[in-house]
A and B are shown apart, each in its own frame.
Chain A
Amino acid sequence: MKKTVFLGALTVAGLAAGAAAAGTLDDVKARGKLNCGVTTGLVGFAAPDANGVWNGFDVGMCRAVAAAVFGDPAAVEFVPTTGKTRFTALASGEVDMLARNTTWTFSRDVDLKFEFVGVNYYDGQGFMVPKALGVSSAKELDGATVCIQTGTTTELNLADFFRANNISYEPVPIETNAEAQQQYLAGACDVYTTDASGLAATRASFEDPSAHVVLPEIISKEPLGPLVRHGDSEWGDVARWTLNALIAAEELGVTSANIDELAKGTNNPEINRLLGSEGNLGEMLGLSADWAVKAIKAGGNYGELFEKNIGENTPIGLARGLNAQWTDGGLLYSPPFR
């Protein structure tokens, strides 16, 4: 009897060790919802509203992927992560994808074993100071106290920038955007630095946004994009092509308003392939034929998402700039749907 118990225990141990990770897409489908890592709260990009419903530009990306997989943009469990916890959350499988204004860098892609599926916002690091300080350039910040979110690329850029310009500063590491805001507004730091889009979003939530200025220097390239774990290309493809579908939809003039009309078939074969009335692109991804229709209907195409959450008519008021379509002089350029 002792022997059987012992052998039984061995078998259980062996089974547990042998259980290899199945494909993320299958896991997500089996679970019935997408676990998406977002920020702990950055207005415009990802923040819960008064009813607890998550809204924002990055949230839109999560919802589009959920819609492409399930046809339901609400089938998302949002997992708030800090700059420090996000990679562990993704690597451990707690979330299926991260849409959390994360900069695409070599070491994150190669060494940290993640796969960036594209860029959904071309950004750069900036500085915000109170207007009363009378500073007009980041090079005048010698000796300043700088609030910075820890665990981000901005922390490294900041060190490089001040070192390269041979000026000193006092870093105040902070865990979340909300804490940074509190310290900055109380005057415990002179400067708040993060991605320029994040600065605009943070400033928009201030009582008096006009009392603060974003300095003209952009000290880094910060291509922000959604990312998934390395080594599961099928799931990476789903996220990548959902993002591309949103970008291509804007380029092709497909919006949430006219999509039902266009989905019935048009004279443009590329639109037909994208929306599934021609070809079998959806099937190749392991999704339904109208996956892109659902993804675009979830929150609109890339341009609609941008205008609704962070565009010039919102309190955040970001111009398209580099994030315009390539046809308008921007950097957005989706590979063809063919």
Chain B
Amino acid sequence: MTTFTDPHKESFRLSMLIYDTRYRSMTIQVVAMFGFMLMAAWLINNTIQNLNALGKPIDFGFFSEPASYDINQRLIEYNSRDSHLRASFVGLLNTLMVAAMGCALATVLGVVIGVLRLSGNWLVARIMTVYVETFRNVPVLLWIVFFMAMLIETLPAPNAFRGENATASMWLGDSVAVTNRGLYVPEPLFSRSLGDVSFFGAFNISLDLIAIVAVLAGGLYVSHRIKVRADRVQEATGIRPTTWYQRLGVVAVPVIVLLAGLGFHLGFPALKGFNFQGGIYMRNSLLALWLALSLYTAAFIAEIVRAGILAISRGQTEAAAALGLRPNRIMNLVILPQALRVIIPPLISQYLNLTKNSSLAIAVGYMDITGTLGGITMNQTGRELECVLLLMLVYLTISLSISLVMNWYNERVKLVER
């Protein structure tokens, strides 16, 4: 027999924690929570005890000791006498660099390929389908290794540029050297440089770069103001004033004046000794990793873009066409702005994937943070647990930061609901 009357408050018994449906779920959750915490505590305790038994208690002191190894690609000053901490930081910057380059290229390629896959042109659409299916269905590690092998085996070694009967020559009027060690392109140099400014005594940033970025940002802001004013004039009078030369002028002229003032010239790479010297050197490892990660992720982004576009009702295209818009304006003004709202959330996770996949860099000897902190430092100091924990923390931080920025962007572009 069941009764439907509520029990009296005084009649609470301990067994009701299990048999009374009002309390049961809470009881189960509390028990499960305790179980989980016990499990975690046991794991941590076990680890600490075993490490102590092994004579290797957790200790981060090794970070201040000299790293003793060299890193080929360094965005900040570093030599083998610097600490493990600095070596890790060099690796972190390399990770961030390849991730940023990869996300940028993957987005451009992905959007273009995604749009082209919907093209009315049968051949173009099919070629893009083949691209997407090949790239996303082969593991990215294989692509990385494949690109590296292609670079190493097909391009000429620096030696081939040497001597009277050289078998290889530089491109674009002796300014770009393409070798199997990487790409050498001209570098910007300043004969009247402003020097560097030191940040916390840890790394230097060129004042020239800061000045150029500042002037460029200022120019872009003024250009934006001009556009806003033109919009207002157009709304008021219906006639849009011609502003392109003003907008180009306020961006370009100050930058050109600044560059001339700094004595801007290009430094060309030249074959000296064993290698090319001078110019910006993009190592084969960076190129292989960058291209492989970008092309692989672009295939996924293309599918996301395609899905986003297909999510916009066909009526929108037809309505826009009825208003007399041409196809590319329909895409830019009507379809893409709406599709972006569908595209952004899955795009975030592709950016995260690309960043995490960059940890495969060691396959081609690119010194990212997995190669420095999680590779050589871990190996030379024998502090596996400390290094791996830190490495996880670093990737977690990078990923959460990307999420944060992209979520903020998503908030801005998403449909305002009333």
- Min CB distance A116 to B, Å, is 14
Contact in complex: B72, A159 (CB < 8 Å): no
Which of B149, B157, B273, B365 gathers most chain A CB within 10 Å? B365
- Chain A interface, number of residues (Cβ within 8 angstroms): 48
Q: B381 within 8 Å of A by Cβ? A: yes
Tell me whether B157 and A83 are in contact (CB under 8 A).
no
B residues less than 8 Å from A87 (CB atoms): 379, 382
Asked whether any CB of chain B lies closer than 8 Å to the CB of A155, the reply is yes
Nearest opposing residue in chain A for B145, CB measure: A179
A163-B79 contact in complex given A113-B55, A145-B275, A230-B55, C-beta closer than 8 Å: yes
A183→B381 contact, CB < 8 A:
no
Contacts of B384 in A (CB 8 A): 88, 91
Contact residues in A for B45 (Cβ distance below 8 Å): 17
Bound CA span A273–B42, Å: 50
Q: Is B349 an interface residue (CB 8 A)?
A: no
Per-residue CB contact flags for chain A residues 17-35 toward chain B (1 = under 8 Å, else 0) read 1000000000000000000
CB within 8 Å of B: which of A127-175?
132-133, 141-145, 150-151, 155-156, 158-160, 162-163, 169-175
Q: Given that A112-B382, A159-B68 are contacting pairs, would A144 and B157 also be in contact in the complex, using a CB cutoff of 8 Å? A: no
A160 touches B55 (CB 8 A): no
Interface string of B10-25 (1 = CB under 8 A from A): 0000000010000000
B274 interfacial contact with A, CB 8 Å: yes
Interface residues of B toward A: which range?
Answer: 35 or more
List residues of chain B with CB within 8 A of the CB of A107: 380-382
Asked if A195 CB lies within 8 Å of chain B CBs, one says: no
* Cα distance, A172 to B365, chains bound together (Å): 7
Say yes or no: B382 contacts A111, CB within 8 Å.
yes
Contact present for B80 and A188 (CB under 8 Å): no
- Decide if B70 touches A158 in the complex (CB within 8 Å): yes
Closest beta carbon of chain A to B80's beta carbon, Å: 4
Docked complex Cα distance between A50 and B50 (Å): 42
B181 touches A171 (CB 8 A): no
- Chain A: CB-nearest residue to B272: A143
A100 to B285, CA, bound (A): 28
Q: How far is the CA of A231 from the CA of B50 in the complex (A)?
A: 13
Complex Cα distance, B371 from A178, in Å, reads 19
Do B274 and A144 touch across chains, with their CB atoms under 8 A apart?
A: yes
A187 x B159 contact (CB < 8 A):
yes
Residue B402 CB within 8 A of the other chain: no
Asked if A257 is at the interface (CB within 8 A of a chain B CB), the reply is no
- In terms of DSSP, what is the predominant structure of the interface of chain A? mixed
The interface residues of chain A lying within 8 Å CB-to-CB of B277 are 143
Structural contact, B72 and A172, CB atoms closer than 8 A: yes
If A163-B80, A188-B284 touch, whether A84 touches B70 (CB-CB below 8 Å) is: no
A155 touches B376 (CB 8 A): yes
Contact of B152 with A186 in the complex, beta carbons under 8 Å: yes
Instruction: List chain B residues, Cβ under 8 A from A141.
Output: 274
Q: Which of A91, A144, A159, A175 sits near B362, CB closer than 8 Å?
A: A175
Instruction: Assess whether B181 is in contact with A188, with CB atoms less than 8 Å apart.
Output: yes
List A contacts of B70 (CB < 8 A). 158-159, 162, 169, 171
* A58: interface (CB < 8 Å): no
Given contacts A84-B379, A159-B70, contact A173 B157 (CB under 8 A): no
Q: How far is the CA of A255 from the CA of B176 in the complex (A)?
A: 63
Interface 1/0 per residue, B260-277 and A, CB below 8 Å: 000000000000111101
Interface pair B79/A145, CB less than 8 Å apart: no
Which residue of A is nearest B49, CB measured?
A17
Residue-wise, chain B 68-90 has the 8 Å CB interface mask toward A (1 for contact) of 11111000000111000000000
A73 CA to B157 CA in the complex, in Å? 46
Which among A9, A13, A87, A186 has the greatest number of chain B C-beta atoms within 10 A?
A186
Interface members, chain A 167-200 (any B CB < 8 Å):
169-175, 182-183, 186-190
| Cβ–Cβ contact B376 & A170, under 8 A | no
Is B46 at the interface (CB under 8 A from chain A)? Answer: yes
Q: What residues on B are CB-neighbors of A162 within 8 Å?
A: 70
Residues of B within 8 A of A150 (CB): 362, 365, 371, 375-376, 379
For chain B, residues 374 to 418, give those with C-beta under 8 angstroms from any C-beta of chain A: 375-376, 379-382, 384
Within 8 A of A (CB), among B148-171: 149, 152-153, 157-160
- CB of A258 to closest CB in B, whole Å: 44
CA distance A141 to B275 in the complex (A): 11
- Among candidates B42, B46, B365, residue contacting A173 with C-beta atoms closer than 8 Å: B365
Interface centre among A145, A175, A187 (most CB of B within 10 A): A187
Which B residue sits closest to A114, measured CB to CB? B382
Q: Which residues of B contact A175 (CB under 8 A)?
A: 362-363, 365
Q: Is A159 in contact with B69, judged by CB distance below 8 angstroms?
A: yes
Given B39, B55, B69, B363, which contacts A155 in the complex, CB threshold below 8 Å? B69
Residues of B within 8 A of A188 (CB): 152, 157, 180-181, 284
CB closest residue in chain B, given A147: B365
Q: Does B103 contact A (CB under 8 A)?
A: no
Please provide the chain A residues from 262 to 283 with a CB less than 8 Å away from any CB of chain B in the complex: none
In the complex, B287 has a CB within 8 A of chain A? no
Nearest Cβ distance between residue B162 and chain A, in whole angstroms? 11
CA distance A155 to B272 in the complex (A): 25
Complex A-B: 24 CB contacts under 8 Å: A2-B18, A2-B31, A13-B38, A13-B42, A84-B379, A87-B379, A107-B382, A113-B382, A132-B159, A144-B273, A150-B376, A156-B380, A160-B68, A162-B70, A163-B79, A171-B69, A171-B70, A173-B362, A175-B362, A175-B365, A183-B152, A186-B152, A187-B158, A188-B180
